[in-house]
Chains A and B, each alone.
Chain A
Amino acid sequence: ELKVEQNPLFLSMQEGKNYTIYCNYSTTSDRLYWYRQDPGKSLESLFVLLSNGAVKQEGRLMASLDTKARLSTLHITAAVHDLSATYFCAVGKSGGGADGLTFGKGTHLIIQP
């Protein structure tokens, strides 16, 4: 059974600081996704990571994937208040094609001015 663990689950930080969210998964996977969710809203796709060593960046967010360690990170650089949200990583089973995703519990991020 595929399990996905995120940490931390809750993070309060100040604007301008850097921080990293970690996502570990339990079995081989060929695709990992990061989503953002604002309170009461839907899930917005941030990154798709498919191969070992993949790194994607968008603004102040950078995601990476280490398939050997079964670990993905989401790094926040010089945080700003607008990045306050809950961030989920989601993993698909290896060879699962377009099967359903297994989500982590999410990291609730609060960035204080």
Chain B
Amino acid sequence: EPEVTQTPSHQVTQMGQEVILRCVPISNHLYFYWYRQILGQKVEFLVSFYNNEISEKSEIFDDQFSVERPDGSNFTLKIRSTKLEDSAMYFCASTRGGAFNQPQHFGDGTRLSIL
């Protein structure tokens, strides 16, 4: 079964540094998402992306965040100047869209640790 793949699985970064998290959505999916989950807490929506542009973003997704689909397969989340509170598990998800009976399929996540 096709999967959403994310790299790296774990990223350790110094505070203030830039970090890029990478995702390869399922190939025939059209809608892409980033969520984050701080340890032990609920999953929080960051941003959705469709047709090469952001379609929705949450309050968390401020100016230090950006997303890009640089080619036909990758979908990236960039955090420009990381803060301690950015430490979390970041999940990428995708869905084919159209019919609402399609769930969002999640990758295994990238654990981001800011020191």
Contact = CB atoms under 8 A, between A and B. Distances in A.
Tell whether A pairs with B.
yes
Interface of A: 30-31, 33, 35, 41-45, 48, 50, 88, 90, 92, 96-106
Nearest to A34: B103
Nearest to B100: A31
B101 A50 contact: yes
Interface in B91-115: 91, 95, 97, 100-109
Q: Which one of A30, A48, A98, A103 has the greatest number of beta carbons of chain B within 10 Å?
A: A98
Contacts of B102: 48
Given A45-B103, A98-B31, A98-B50, A103 B42 contact: yes
Contacts of A50: 100-101
Q: Which one of B43, B44, B58 has the greatest number of beta carbons of chain A within 10 Å?
A: B43
A100 B56 contact: yes
A98 B48 contact: yes
Contacts, number: 60
A41 B108 contact: yes
B101 A100 contact: no
Given A45-B105, A88-B43, A100 B58 contact: yes
A99 B44 contact: no
B101 A105 contact: no
B40 to A, nearest CB: 9
Interface string B28-50: 00110101000001111111101
30 contacts: A33-B103, A35-B106, A42-B91, A42-B106, A42-B107, A42-B108, A42-B109, A44-B106, A45-B103, A45-B104, A48-B100, A48-B101, A48-B102, A50-B100, A88-B42, A90-B43, A96-B56, A97-B97, A98-B48, A98-B50, A98-B95, A98-B97, A99-B56, A100-B45, A100-B58, A101-B45, A101-B104, A103-B43, A105-B41, A105-B42
A96 B97 CA distance: 11
A90 B106 CA distance: 13
